[in-house]
Amino acid sequence: MANREAILANYIHQRHFLQTVNIPVLGKPFLYMKNHKAACTTVLATLMAHLLDLQGEGTESIDMQSVHTPPKSLLLTGPRGLNVRRVMRALDDPAVFRFTIMREPVSRTVSSFADKIVKGDKQKTKLMRYLGRPVDSDMSLSEFLDILAQDTGAQDVDRHWRPQRKEISYDFIDYDFVGDMADLRGALGYAVKRIFDVDTPRMQDTRRTLGHKSHSRELIEGMTAQDRANIEKAFGPDLEMYEEVRKTLEEAA
């Protein structure tokens, strides 16, 4: 039985937890735990494409807004569509396919910096206000990583760089499948086969179709030994989780 108290303790508030859960309105029951900066937009768009197919509709309605706020005719998420009791029932139901996608922690953290801090999005504003700095202050990758390593509160400022192990309740949810973003097509292929019984997923690559991408490769290549040490300090449990999941996937291949 799902440990309600332990799961809810992983989230800043109950709304945060409910916004992480996605449950379909039709078709075979599944529960997808959304993991920011781990291809969650592509995963949701792909699930929506298959659910629309079940309704006999096309995918023209899929855009960035609909993916981030899925129509209630397809997916239930957040406090307006779900409550904790319903989610816990789904977590305990053996008929529900429970899955998520994780990402290698270095790549995810640097991508969060490139996408949210460098571009000056609202996530940067939240972090600067938390640190007591002017919102237009400059910040380097090294400084960002040092802050996350030294200040666990800064890790919780935004879910895009928040530890994945907490965000998906890895230690408390009995997942049927945890995929790796490094093999996103394979992971989605497996999940879609289990849920929709189709051999080829209608994968919606939002990096291409919706312009959803960031440029972090150069930043990773320029990381120092101290940068990597800071990631290990900040995200040690995530790194352990990633190795465990990779081993499980390799053994199942």
Predicted confidence (pLDDT) per residue in 65-104, tens digit? 888 888 999 999 999 999 999 999 999 999 999 999 999 9
23, pLDDT greater than 60: yes
Give the pLDDT of residue 33: 98
From the CB of residue 251, how many other CB atoms can be counted at a distance below 10 Å?
A: 7
Q: At what angle do helices 225-234 and 236-252 cross, to 10 degrees?
A: 80
**pLDDT at res. 189:** 94
**Domain ranges (residues) in the chain:** 4-252
Quote the CA–CA distance of 136 and 130 in Å, as a whole number: 13
Task: Name the strand (E) or helix (H) holding 195.
Answer: helix 184-196
Q: Is 88 helix (H, G, I), strand (E, B) or coil?
A: helix
pLDDT at 209: 52
Interstrand relation of 75-76 and 21-24 (parallel, antiparallel or unpaired):
antiparallel
Q: In what order do the strands lie in the sheet with 75-76?
A: 75-76, 21-24, 30-33, 97-102, 177-180
Mean pLDDT taken over the chain = 93
Distance of alpha carbon 158 from alpha carbon 113, whole angstroms: 11
- H-state helical runs in 55-155: 64-68, 78-81, 84-92, 105-112, 122-131, 141-150, 152-155
Rounded to 5°, angle at Cα 36 from 85 and 65 = 85
